[in-house]
Amino acid sequence: MKAWWRFKNSYFFYSFRRDPVALVSFSVFFFLVLVSLFAPVIAPHNPYDTSTIDVMDAEIPPSWMDGGQERFWLGTDIQGRDLYSTMLYGLRTSVAIGIGAVLFQGILGIVVGLTAGYVGGRVDGFLMRVADIQFSIPYLIVAIITSAIFQLAFGVGRFEQLAMPLLILIIGISEWPKYARTVRASVLGEKQKEYVEAARVIGLNPVRIMYRHILPNTLTPVLVISTIQVAQAVMSEAALSFLGLGMPVTKPSLGSLIKAGFQYVFSGSWWITTFPGILLVTFTLVVILFGDWLRDVLNPKLYKG
Amino acid sequence: MRLPALRAGSRKFTHGADPAPDACRSLMFAFIIRRVLQAILVMVIIAFIGFAVQHSIGDPVRDMVGERVSLAEREALREQLGLNDPVLVQFGRFCWKALHGDLGTSYFHKRPALDVIVSKAPATLELVFGATVIILLFCFPVGIYTAIRPRAWFSRLVMAASTIGVAVPVFLTAIVLIYVFGVELRWLPTYGRGVTVNVGGWDTGLLTADGLRHLILPSVSLSSIMLPLYIRLIRSEMMEVLETEYIKFAWAKGLSRWRVWLLHAFKNTLLPVITVFGVEIGILFAFTLLTETVFQWQGMGFMFLEAVERSDTALLVAYLVVVGVMFVVINTVVDICYGLVNPMVRIAGNP
């Protein structure tokens, strides 16, 4: 209760209430996450249940157009799945991959950055050189080549089965240097302070100092980049799926839905690609807007026109 | 920004007073040597990853012979190819061949993999070139205008559009462009490179009207990922410069508006913009993979994805090595240039 009261009176909450962009973007983000969590309850059809799918229903336009049907609000895709339900499930997959990948890269990056910053010396030199080297190659290239290698190593069938954990792994691997650098930079700042000195004098072991004393004080920048990274990860997932190196068409994600609909744009079935596309853009846009606001509030020094 | 770091040893060397010119030169030399050594190490690592992929996934014997060849014959072939040698010996052979430009033979194309990649490179480079031209044409005037007139409706529109633009993936832009200009209006072609002419071994679409028409939509969609970022970058740099004292002094001198904006302010926004541009061109290259897929542009990225579909391991490994070498070379050259231009990079270590 007391924590809530403190939060309610904080500058953070005050500026949140005063900023319409933050309010709207966070509400939309929260709404979309809720919708994706409860997709099985909300969606009128289950796209994974092949017994309810009829290929005869394929490519029905949205209900307000000529030839549209009441039961399929946003029309159907090429396999005869209800597009609205499929999008909800797709959003669920995309959000899960996005958050999973950010958790994975965050943990990896924090461990590396904390070790490099606290231990210093050769360990620091080595770890940061590795991060530098990976950083010099665009993350998308790393992700695409990694997933191509995985797809060849596992074979297409096995890859499709394991697509979700593998994508989390791939996107996590391609993005960890960002966390490692951020954490290392703030660890270097914290390391000089008296409380770390004090902890060392008491004789606490280094691992405890690193994780219990320094880590909590470096979490603000981690939080700031995490929001942007979620948007980034969702977009990476979409890009990989669009290239055919991510989620298969049978397991809808926003990227694989866009990919599946893309060929049918030429024949005039614009809705199969358009609606998932709008959903993807909306999701990434609100996450980016919220992340920008978070960065400005938590770090006023960074603010720039 | 990626700044190359020096080890503690050289930092000790320059501690205190400014180093003499001689010491400075030897420092620079040491810096270049260290940077090149690091580049070689990275190349060896990339080569090892490529080798590991080929060693564990690809089967050269399958690539060479048909179904009917017996097991004994296959085994003999394996022995002959040296596939039963120790791993390190094989890796050494892999590197040796790679250094001589032999990255294996593509299973599908039945040609040396490097030849296949080189023959696809012009398409990708022209796409990057087209996108760069579009970015350069638009980012400067629009960026300057939005900085000078931040409250004009056009500036607000541009800023709103660039915020949304960052969130739109490149393939969606491409699909929308295809739908509008290709399917509905039928103004522009939407796939392939059109008519190309061969100039000294380089298949170019830049010299034919048809090739140029084919280039428009792909380069516009590729430029759409970078254009919003550049407009914002130029705008914020320019706005910062416009606040400085020497600009106020220029106004006070009574110089003409255009002189202040272009000669005094704009010139000083160029350095950070050029720096970022050098780094981001690699990202542009990464996004050609997506653009090429949408437009069926016969470049390196399209070839790579086809290779993955066909399980063409040799071609995939060759692509990995070529792209790795490309990025290592670009980064090393850029770092050394920074070192030459900016002594801070050489002398100061990591923060």
Query: What's the pLDDT at B13?
Result: 42
Neighbours of A8 (CB within 10 A): 10
Q: How confident is the model at residue A238 (pLDDT cuts 50, 70, 90)?
A: very high
Confidence at residue B71, expressed as pLDDT on a 0 to 100 scale: 75
Tell me the C-alpha distance between B348 and B351, whole Å: 8
Percent helix, strand, coil in chain B (nearest 5)? 75, 0, 25
What are the tokens at B57? 């996934």
pLDDT of residue B344: 60
Query: How far is it, in rounded angstroms, from Cα A138 to Cα B227?
Result: 18
Chain B residues 124-153 with a CB less than 8 Å from chain A: none
CB contact at 8 A, A88 and A81: no
The pLDDT of residue A304: 40
Whether the CB of B305 is below 8 Å from some CB of chain A: the reply is yes
More confidently predicted of B296 and B24:
B296
- ipTM score assigned to the predicted complex: 0.82
pLDDT of residue B8 exceeding 50, the answer is no
C-alpha A252/C-alpha A86 separation (Å) is 7
pLDDT in the model for residue B311: 81
Q: Quick one: which of A101, A246, A250, A240 has its CA closest to A176?
A: A101
Return the closest-CA partner of residue B265 out of B126, B143, B134, B349: B143
| CA separation for the pair A276, A270 (Å, rounded) | 11
Given this model, what pLDDT does residue B52 score? 86
- Domain ranges for chain A, please list them: 61-298
Helix axes B21-56, B313-341, angle to 10 degrees: 170
Question: Which of these ranges, A133-147, A162-176, A242-256, B337-351, has the smallest mean pLDDT?
Answer: B337-351
> What pLDDT does residue B167 have?
86
Q: Which residues of A are less than 8 Å from B316 in CB distance?
A: 148-149, 152
Best mutation target, B172, B236, B317, to test chain A (most A CBs within 10 A): B172
Query: Has domain B113-348 been given CATH number 3.40.50.10680?
Result: no
- Contact state of B53 with A289 under an 8 Å Cβ cutoff: no
- The single-letter DSSP state of residue B112 is B
Kindly determine whether residue B172 and residue A277, on different chains, have CB atoms separated by under 8 Å.
Answer: yes
**Burial state string for A54-91 with b = 16 or more CB within 10 A and e = fewer than 16:** eeebbbbbbeeeeebeeebbbbbbebbbbbbbbbbbbb
Which two tokens mark B129? 């070139």
Backbone angle region of B186, left / alpha / beta, with phi > 0 → left and psi within -120 to 50 → alpha:
left
Q: Taking all residues of chain A, what is their mean pLDDT, rounded to a whole number?
A: 84
β-partners of residue B197 are: B204
Lowest mean pLDDT among B121-125, B160-164, B338-342: B338-342
Per-residue pLDDT band for B60 (boundaries 50, 70, 90) equals low
Give the residue from B217, B308, B312 with the most A CB atoms within 10 Å of its CB, the best one to mutate: B308
pLDDT of B24 strictly over 70: no
* The CATH classification of domain A61-298, taken from the options 3.40.190.10, 1.10.3720.10, 3.40.50.720, 1.10.260.40: 1.10.3720.10
- pLDDT of the residue at B70: 75
**Hey, are the CB atoms on A128 and B236 less than 8 Å from each other?**
no
The reported pTM is 0.84
3-class DSSP state for residue B105? strand
| Among candidate residues B332, B346, B344, B257, the one with its CA nearest the CA of residue B40 | B332
Q: Is the pLDDT of residue B348 over 70?
A: no
Percent of chain A with pLDDT over 90: 20
Q: Tell me which chain A residues have a C-beta less than 8 angstroms from the C-beta of B179.
A: 265, 270
**Mean pLDDT within B172-198:** 82
- Distances in Å between the Cα of A144 and the Cα atoms of A100, A137, B168 are 18, 12, 19
pLDDT given for residue A55 in this prediction: 67
Least confident of A61-70, A108-117, A220-229, B186-195: A61-70
Look at residue A18 in the predicted model and tell me its pLDDT. Answer: 82
Place of tokens 């990057």: B128
Cα dist. B283→A52, A229, B100, B250 in Å? 43, 17, 29, 38
Confirm or reject contact between B169 and chain A (CB < 8 A). Answer: yes
Least-confidence region, from A221-235, B103-117, B209-223? B103-117
> Crossing angle, helix A254-262 and helix B170-177, to 10 degrees?
30
Q: Contact B167/A136, CB-based, under 8 Å?
A: no
Task: Pick the residue of B37, B148, B158, B175 with the most A CBs within 10 A to test the interface with A by mutation.
Answer: B175
Q: Is the dihedral of CA A172, A177, A182, A185 positive or negative?
A: positive
Characterise B226 by phi-psi region: left (phi > 0), alpha (psi -120 to 50), beta (else).
alpha
Q: What is the DSSP string of A280-298?
A: HHHHHHHHHHHHHHHHHHH
CB distance from B318 to chain A under 8 Å?
A: no
pLDDT tens digits for range B229-282: 889 888 988 888 888 888 888 888 888 888 888 888 888 788 777 777 767 778
Beta bridge pairs of residue B202 = B199
pLDDT tens digits, A86-124 = 888 889 999 999 999 999 999 999 999 999 988 888 888
∠ CA A257-A107-A185 to the nearest 5 degrees? 115
List all residues 6 or more positions away from B143 whose beta carbon is below 8 Å from its beta carbon.
Answer: B230, B231, B232, B233, B234, B235, B238
Cα B272 to the center of its chain, rounded Å: 18
> Which among A279, A255, A239, A257 has a CA at the least distance from the CA of B287?
A239
More confident residue, A208 or B311: A208
Of the ranges A196-200, B18-22, B55-59, which one carries the lowest mean pLDDT score? B18-22
With the C-alpha atoms ordered B284, B286, B291, B296, is the resulting torsion angle positive or negative?
A: positive
Is A215 touching B (CB cutoff 8 A)? no
pLDDT surpasses 80 at A289: yes
Q: Could you tell me which of A286, A229, A275, A220 has the C-alpha nearest to residue A252?
A: A275
Strand, coil or helix: what is B198? strand
Q: Of A112-116, B17-21, B96-100, where does mean pLDDT reach its minimum? A: B17-21
Q: List, for residues B277-302, the tens digit of each pLDDT value.
A: 767 778 888 899 999 988 888 889 89
Percentage of chain B exceeding pLDDT 90: 6
Q: Which of A41-50, A73-82, B27-36 has the highest mean pLDDT?
A: B27-36
Q: Which of A13-22, B42-51, B241-250, B281-290 has the lowest mean pLDDT?
A: A13-22
pLDDT at B109 exceeding the cut of 70: yes
Closest among B233, B230, B228 to B169, alpha carbons compared = B228
Q: Where in chain B is the domain with CATH 1.10.3720.10?
A: 113-348
Within 8 A of B178 by CB-CB distance, chain A residues are: 265-266
Q: Using an 8 Å CB-CB cutoff, list chain A residues near B240.
A: 304-305
Quote the CA–CA distance of B326 and B76 in Å, as a whole number. 37
Q: What is the pLDDT of residues A250-270, one digit of tens each?
A: 888 888 888 888 878 777 777
Tell me what the pLDDT averaged over chain B comes to.
Answer: 80
**Cross-strand partners of A53:** none
Q: Which of A145, A257, A85, A62 is nearest to B172 (CA)?
A: A257
